[in-house]
Structure 1
Amino acid sequence: MISSASVSQADQQFALDSGGDYFLAKPVDSQELFNTLSKLLELTWIYEAAEETIPQTETAVLAEELLPPRPFLENLLELAQSADIKLLREKLDQISQEDERYVAFAAPLSELAKQFRSEDIEVRLQHYLNRDLTHAR
């Protein structure tokens, strides 16, 4: 499998002629990548049901938790939606190091990021953005 930002028909054909068996244009769509891997490796994905709501025990913690400014949360959500886990983890590490008040916010998201659970991160960030919680200014 070959991936490149150069998506002209000639570039794609050259990549395939050079030994690739499938071409993915960058930025790579995660669903297309998983579907391609499934075909090429004859895999069957087994999905765990994602929780749509945050458990009540976590909701109580969230109410007391100080959240980063809304634009920061929106940026994290964009990173999760584009599956840019590396940059998302970097931003979570950075905010935790800059202000220890955000450690309680960042730790569970970092743990989800280590497991590449971007959809769960999206759900949690949407929850933060949709609730009237305390945001730092």
Structure 2
Amino acid sequence: MIVMRNVGVRILLIVSGVIFLGYALLLVYAGTQSSTGLQGTEFIQFGVATMCFSLAYLYPQFKVNDERTQKIRERGMLFTFLIMMGVFIILMTLFMADVIHFNGMQTVGIITATMISVVFLSFVVLSKRY
């Protein structure tokens, strides 16, 4: 079994984030240049890139599973739940008012990317606070 040091894991996560970000930008470019438009998977790629960058920052802190990391995870999930409820209310209001028009795949992609991003960004914010 290969044991990687903190730096190796962080570099791997940063490289993965750059790859996902590049792939997402490529999908956005291809979608905007074609007649089909954005499909919805681009948003998920942005969310995964955000997750990789956040985990690269959080890895040294979350490597040690102590009370502080448990508190950050618990509070982060609570804040994520509250923020996602707000996002759902805003999206439902915009859909009912016919302000935005997305198909099902785009809507699922936006919600998934938002959830992934909010979870890990709340962990980052809370890790600076606690």
TM, length-normalised to structure 1: 0.28
Largest Rg, 1 or 2:
1
TM, length-normalised to structure 2: 0.28
Say which structure is richer in helix: 2
